[in-house]
Amino acid sequence: MAAKFTHIDLGHADYKEVWDLQTKTHLEKQNGRTDDIIYTVEHNHVYTLGKSGSRDHILLSEAEMAAKGISYYEIDRGGDITYHGPGQLVVYPIINLNNYYKDTHRYLRDLEEVVIKTLAELGITSTRDEEFTGVWVGEEKICAIGIKVSRWITMHGIAFNVNTELEYFNKIIPCGIFHKGVTSIKKELNKEADMNEVKKIILKNFEAVFGN
């Protein structure tokens, strides 16, 4: 049976505004006042640093970031430094794992599975890496994953490179990984992807994977 989520597409939105929205929704879920929700969004240019990350993995000063119109936030998810921006599909599931399973490791693997299934439908073969969380095409990461789980309710989620401007990754060490690259659906297929179609496929796969 497929799981059911309320999907809210936020279009293009500032990172901090959506982070605040996630926090508000997370609190509402703790009090049982909202359904399981999946937010989808494309952010303005921003670098975010997770709790286990290092500021040294950003190769720009704050002044240089400001000059380029890139925001910067140190946030409450796991993981290291990553980039969000136009052309990247960011998916934030705010779900109560008490209704599924109490296992953060399995949750991460399920998020990866959603993306792997979505890429397969688009004709792209992708894999996991035993050492690093995320989804990979060869030696290049196509989807970064960073989560927070509190009271078994999730926050944050996946950053899926659809038509992402990959040059923004050149100024960071993505996820703190020195020896691997990044890619996107656009790069792999050598053409622009239909973002709305990708959203439809990924939401379908969320319902399928979490319905098992």
Domains of the chain and CATH, by start? 6-209 (3.30.930.10)
For the chain, the distance separating the N- and C-terminal CA atoms, rounded to the nearest angstrom, is 7
Residue pair 36/5 in contact (Cβ under 8 Å)? The answer is yes
Any idea how long the chain is?
212
Active-site pick, 37, 143, 153, 175 = 175
pTM for the model stands at: 0.93
pLDDT tens digits, one per residue of 118-173:
999 999 999 999 888 999 999 999 999 999 999 999 999 999 999 999 999 988 87
Q: Which is more confident, 33 or 86?
A: 86
What amino acid is encoded at 131 in this protein? E
- Integer Cα distance of 80 and 41 in angstroms: 20
Q: Is 175 a catalytic residue?
A: yes
Lowest mean pLDDT, pick from 13-27, 40-54, 88-102, 189-203: 40-54
